[in-house]
């Protein structure tokens, strides 16, 4: 068991919308990701999803309202809720998700990841 330095892990990659696994607990992955631009409208049928902003400002659009997250803030998106994350500038986030989560949820496109890298 080793401690994890979040800044050190974030310095190891520069790609956007490609989460990296930095830990796991109780059937969940702890992931880091860098986001920039607009993702894709999607939902997760069986899993909740948590976005915690480390750096930057993240807009999460829901069908009925928008949520803006600043550093030190997090938001849990309940299963089945359609959403789209948008980052005008680079945003660094920590994600807490069940191992079964597919990054694009119910959508299969070029951003869907078959496997996620462990750092």
- SS3 of residue 65 by DSSP: coil
Q: What is the pLDDT of residue 102?
A: 64
Look at residue 104 and tell me whether its pLDDT is greater than 60: no
Domain range holding 85? 6-98
pLDDT of 2 higher than 90: no
Examine residue 14 and state whether it is found in any structural domain, yes or no. Answer: yes
Render pLDDT for 3-21 as a digit per residue (tens, 0 to 9): 999 999 999 999 999 999 9
Number of domains forming the structure of the chain:
1
pLDDT band at residue 97 using 50, 70 and 90 as cut-offs: confident
| Mean pLDDT along residues 25-50 | 92
Any domain includes 85: yes
Residue 113: per-residue pLDDT: 60
Give the integer Cα–Cα distance in Å for 36 and 34: 7
In a domain, 20, yes or no: yes
In a domain, 119, yes or no: no
Beta-bridge partners for 35: 91
Q: 1 in a domain, yes or no?
A: no
In a domain, 53, yes or no: yes
pLDDT digits (tens, 9 = 90+) for 64-94: 999 999 999 999 999 999 999 999 999 999 9
Confirm whether 25 is domain-assigned.
yes
The CATH number of the domain holding residue 55 is: 2.60.120.10
Question: Alpha helix locations (H) across 13-112?
Answer: none
Q: Determine, yes or no, domain membership for 107.
A: no
């Amino acid at each position: 068991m080793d401690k994890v330095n979040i800044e050190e892990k974030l310095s190891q990659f520069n790609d956007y919308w490609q989460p990296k696994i930095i830990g796991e607990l109780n059937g969940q992955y702890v992931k880091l990701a860098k986001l920039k631009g607009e993702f894709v409208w999607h939902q997760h049928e069986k899993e909740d999803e948590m976005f915690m902003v480390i750096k930057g400002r993240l807009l999460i659009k829901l069908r009925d309202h928008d949520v803006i997250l600043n550093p030190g803030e997090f938001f849990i998106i309940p299963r089945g809720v359609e959403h789209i994350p948008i980052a005008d500038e680079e945003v660094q986030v920590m994600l807490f998700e069940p191992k079964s989560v597919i990054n694009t949820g119910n959508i299969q496109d070029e951003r869907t990841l078959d496997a996620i890298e462990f750092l």
